[in-house]
């Protein structure tokens, strides 16, 4: 029996590199909540991807694996934001991509790309007993090729020094997308959490245009349609909202509506 990379029986969802190379906008969200149910809800809502946030979220690796299972079962592409030391295990659990924070240089981007790809493209350690390889059911050369073809590396740049090197970082072989982290960028530029400050927006514009000019997919947080329209004009195609912000806003609206109803009656 031949199992392709898009076959739902195969643990690894390998669609993302092609999605990032396409011209269409991709919409997803960061999720730091340790909940497979939230992953399922995001899939049923119609998002293209979900970023399991292991930088700021509270999920351990076991819960992360359960959320990856939920993503595969419901058809949403799972990306894991994680630190460098977690890359081997996150990849072996079956992440479709890793989004690594605070990439500061071409040299760092090359090192990370090597960790994400098997030889001859990189230096990732090989094991076929993992979930990504179907616990041995889909191991061997086929798993190696499917992983190299189907796993994406998204570099996050979050300082003015990194944004100044956006084109060079994007041009690194093995980097599929570059995501500008606006909140950290604003802090690093001395504007606190105000990423709407004019100098921060100018840096974001320059970074997005540089990434697009290097032929890679530019990403950014877009919390509303106006954000998406603005950043789309600057070249962004990979837009991320935040699950907790959406949930909190909906809960506040529901609570307010309940109070208003009480007052009316």
Q: List the chain pLDDT tens, one digit each, 265 residues.
A: 344 445 677 899 999 999 999 999 999 999 999 999 999 999 999 999 999 999 999 999 999 999 999 999 999 999 999 999 999 999 999 999 999 999 999 999 999 999 999 999 999 999 999 999 999 999 999 999 999 999 999 999 999 999 999 999 999 999 999 999 999 999 999 999 999 999 999 999 999 999 999 999 999 999 999 999 999 999 999 999 999 999 999 999 999 986 665 555 4
pLDDT at 92: 98
Residue 182 in contact with residue 207, Cβ under 8 Å? no
pLDDT at 3: 41
Structure tokens at 112: 């990370």
Q: Which residues lie closer than 8 Å to 254 by C-beta, 6 or more apart?
A: none
Based on its alpha-carbon atoms, the radius of gyration of the chain, rounded to whole angstroms, reads 19
Q: Which of 56, 66, 85, 143 is catalytic?
A: 56
pLDDT at 221: 98
Domain 16-153+220-228+237-264 is of which CATH architecture? Alpha-Beta Barrel (3.20)
Q: pTM here? A: 0.94
Percent of the chain exceeding pLDDT 90 equals 92
Q: Is 85 a catalytic residue?
A: no
pLDDT at 10: 86
pLDDT at 1: 38
Q: Which residue has the tokens 């898009």?
A: 6
pLDDT at 260: 61
Q: Tell me what the pLDDT averaged over the chain comes to.
A: 95
pLDDT at 265: 45
pLDDT at 262: 56
Q: Rounded to whole angstroms, how far apart are CA atoms 143 and 201?
A: 42
Q: Which residue has the tokens 């329209």?
A: 229
Q: Rounded to whole angstroms, how far apart are CA atoms 264 and 101?
A: 49
């Amino acid at each position: 029996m031949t199992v392709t990379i898009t076959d739902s029986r195969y643990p690894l969802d390998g669609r993302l590199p092609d999605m990032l190379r396409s011209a269409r906008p991709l919409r997803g969200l960061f999720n730091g909540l340790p909940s497979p149910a939230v992953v399922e809800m995001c899939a049923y809502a119609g998002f293209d991807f979900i970023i399991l946030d292991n930088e700021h979220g509270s999920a351990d690796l076991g819960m992360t694996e359960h959320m990856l299972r939920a993503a595969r079962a419901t058809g949403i592409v799972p990306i894991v934001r994680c630190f460098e030391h977690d890359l081997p295990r996150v990849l072996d659990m079956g992440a479709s991509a890793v989004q690594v924070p605070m990439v500061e240089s071409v040299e760092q981007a090359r090192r990370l790309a090597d960790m994400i790809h098997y030889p001859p493209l990189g230096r990732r350690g090989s094991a076929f007993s993992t979930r990504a390889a179907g616990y041995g059911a889909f191991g061997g050369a086929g798993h190696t090729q499917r992983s190299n073809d189907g796993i994406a590396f998204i570099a996050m740049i979050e300082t003015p020094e990194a944004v100044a090197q956006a084109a060079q970082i994007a041009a690194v072989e093995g980097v599929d997308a570059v995501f500008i982290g606006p909140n950290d960028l604003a802090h690093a530029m001395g504007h606190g959490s105000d990423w709407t400050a004019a100098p921060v927006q100018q840096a974001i514009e320059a970074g997005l245009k540089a990434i697009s000019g290097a032929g890679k997919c530019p990403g950014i947080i877009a919390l509303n349609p106006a954000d998406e329209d603005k950043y789309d004009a600057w070249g962004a195609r990979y837009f991320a909202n935040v699950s907790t912000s959406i949930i909190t806003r909906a809960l506040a609206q529901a609570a307010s509506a309940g109070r208003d109803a009480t007052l009316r009656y």
